[in-house]
Amino acid sequence: MADLIRRLGEVAGLKDLMRPTQERGQVRTGAIAVLEDAFRDMWNLGRNLVLVWSKSGSGIDVLAVPHYVIALPVEPAPGQPSGDGDGYIQRLLAGPKCLSQDELQETARRLGYSPTHVPLLASARLDELEVSDLVKRFGITYVGPDGKFRHFTSPLQGSGAHTITIVAQNPRGEVVTRKQPVLIK
């Protein structure tokens, strides 16, 4: 099913145009395409959130967690009293998406999940802002006390009617789906 839900450009065969070549611009485009595919797989049709990333040797390390994890109690930082879990999660969601390797490992430890390594070509030079923007597309940046949240996606293709589908899952695996029609003029 996940393979059926791909971007229009991939379905239309444009993905072949994004393969890395010797030119720097095309290597960069290829790296972004590789990251987008990796993030989409980690995101798993909305079951997970891609939270943060860090540069790591020949690629990047990415922390993705099931979305309900942001509502669970968080391990305190070493030497810190418990009780700042909500504030920590809000800072994590609203803060920078690129962390140092130490910060990423500490965040992974506190949330109880391991980062995933995404290998990239040695010639790929990624812009921190580009990767962080991509992370935001597969995560959320704020959850309010009333449960409201913001999520940024890539631009919808063309004008006309579109449907945004929101899928939520609780820790027991129960899923609720909501569809919201939107009109782009």
Q: Any bridge partners for residue 106, and if so which?
A: none
Q: Determine the Cα–Cα distance for residues 89 and 45; give it in Å rounded to an integer.
A: 22
Per residue in 121-175, pLDDT (tens digit) is: 766 777 888 888 889 888 876 666 666 666 656 566 778 888 887 777 666 778 7
Tell me, what amino acid is at 105?
Answer: Q
pTM to 2 decimals?
0.64
- What residue has token string 């145009």? 17
- The rounded percent of the chain whose pLDDT value lies above 70 is 68
User: Tens of pLDDT along 31-90?
Assistant: 888 899 999 999 998 889 999 999 998 899 999 999 888 877 787 777 666 656 667 887
* Residue for token pair 């992370």: 135
The domains of the chain are located at 25-139
